[in-house]
Amino acid sequence: MAPHFYDILVVGAGFYGATIAERVANVLGKRVLVIDRRDHIGGNAYSEINPETGIEVHRYGAHLFHTPNKLVWDYLNGFTAFTGYQHRVFTSFKGQVYPMPINLATICQYFGKQMSPDEARALVREQSAELGDAAPRNLEEKAISLIGRPLYEAFIRGYTAKQWQTDPTLLPESIISRLPVRYNFNNRYFSDKYEGLPVDGYTAIFERMLDNPLIEIQTGVDYFAIKDTIPKDKLVVFTGPIDRYFDYRAGELSWRTIDFEPEIVGVGDYQGTAVMNYADEDIPFTRILEFRHFNPERNYQTEKSYIVREYSRFARHEDEPYYPIDTPEDKKVYQAYRSLAEGEENVIFGGRLGTYRYLDMHQAIGAALKAFDTEVQPRLSRA
Ligand code: FAD
Ligand code: UDP
């Protein structure tokens, strides 16, 4: 499609961009050009079958779908059925294995005795007393307020040091608020009403969302390479990094990236579970994923397994930006970009890179559905 013949350009074929494209084509009957600089659609949720083992692998890290939002759940069920997968995580600390997130089993095992929910609560209250009544101001204080210092030092401090390499008193408390703390034996990782994995894998969702003759997809195309060919009045939804869009003129937003170290091991079951975290600071990786466990319903061969070790580090320009660090300095820089974005009349910034926010998949889809209703549809209907 030549630039003049589409109604909207969507930059990025992840969940945010794909949702906008799908709505514009299927609801408004307008033409969409979707570009992505990668050689595939799906953004970070992209998955593929590893040819040697036949196991589905999420190329950019394990992606577990969960949401409390019925609207998003119903929407996505229009493009895929979900398995009944429920995520559970374990963590290794000093040679012992504990359930994660921290729940009554973790607390009893760590302190080496059976406790009732009230007894465990009382113990944690005592162990978080150092904070007094002050509201927690950062990740460390929030974690201590939730679980007390000993559990923080065992399960959070080392892992967080490896994951963020940033003083935990400079990290926002929102990072740790993602993890529930439970005074019962429920060891599910997520608390949301809806959870599961797509029966045919993630990539199939995107193929179905974008399956409309009104949508043209061009992969391997970088927005900045074609920017000058785009008519100035064309509506653009941009889901790439907002600081890159403005050529870093207000500074660089800081991100964490992950080095994935895959290995095909000659055993049918390497670790007995999908995700094992490593809390000890002297073990360099943060966790090991074993992908076969995400799809127990599949008839995978049992001779080999596909595992991935994750190593976290600061992202440079050429790296994939994964987690916004969001220090107080980042917040200032992002605000400067928000002001610049106000001046870009025909560009809507969305998704996790475009808004510098950690978004779960359901939040990216929810935000895109909202932006479609409030921003995209009104503008395209006027045009
Ligand atoms: P993305 O999926 O990142 O898509 C943006 C796209 O824009 C990319 O494909 C990129 O190539 C493209 N792009 C960027 N710049 C340009 C350019 N200049 N030109 C053309 N294209 C460009 N969420 C969950 O709900 N559950 C999980 O278990 C989970 N696990 C995660 C694990 C990791 C390691 C990470 C990093 C994220 C995880 N997420 C998870 C979050 C999930 O990946 C995001 O919610 C989702 O990717 C958001 O979609 P998006 O469209 O905003 O961004
Ligand atoms: N975290 C931790 N220990 C763990 C798991 C998580 O300290 O065993 C902390 C860590 O700071 C991490 C945050 O909790 O960044 C959020 O965890 P989550 O599992 O949501 O991280 P993600 O899966 O997004 O990497």
Q: How far apart are CA 356 and CA 321, in angstroms?
A: 10
336 CA to centre of ligand 2 in angstroms:
29
Ligand 2 binding residues, C-beta < 6 A: 91, 100, 155-156, 159-160, 163, 175-176, 178-179, 277, 279
Cβ proximity of 164 and 312 under 8 Å: yes
Q: How far apart are CA 244 and CA 241, in angstroms?
A: 5
Active-site annotation holds for 261: no
| Helix (H) or strand (E) run with residue 288 in it | strand 287-290
Tokens (6 digits) for 72:
């998003």
Active-site annotation holds for 256: yes
* Atom 39 (ligand 1) nearest CA: 360
CB neighbour list of residue 191: distance below 8 Å, 6 or more residues apart = 180
Active-site annotation holds for 298: no
Nearest Cα to Cα of residue 103 among 84, 122, 113, 117: 117
* Atom 33 (ligand 1) nearest CA: 61
Angle (CA) 246-33-321 rounded to 5° is: 40
Active-site annotation holds for 59: no
Q: Rounded to the nearest 5°, which phi and psi values hold at 380?
A: -70, -30
Instruction: Label residue 153 exposed, middle or buried (CB < 10 Å: 0-12, 13-18, 19+).
Output: middle
Q: How far apart are CA 267 and CA 306, in angstroms?
A: 9
The one-digit pLDDT tens for each residue of the chain (383 residues) are 565 689 999 999 999 999 999 999 999 999 999 999 999 999 999 999 999 999 999 999 999 999 999 999 999 999 999 999 999 999 999 999 999 999 999 999 999 999 999 999 999 999 999 888 888 989 999 999 999 999 999 999 999 999 998 888 888 888 898 888 999 999 999 999 999 999 999 999 999 999 999 999 999 999 999 999 999 899 999 999 999 999 999 999 999 999 999 999 999 999 999 999 999 999 999 999 999 999 999 999 999 999 999 999 999 988 999 999 888 899 999 999 999 999 999 999 999 999 999 999 999 999 999 999 999 999 998 76
Nearest Cα to Cα of residue 192 among 361, 374, 58, 1: 361
CB neighbour list of residue 74: distance below 8 Å, 6 or more residues apart = none
* Atom 38 (ligand 1) nearest CA: 63
The counts of H helices and E strands in the chain are: 14, 16
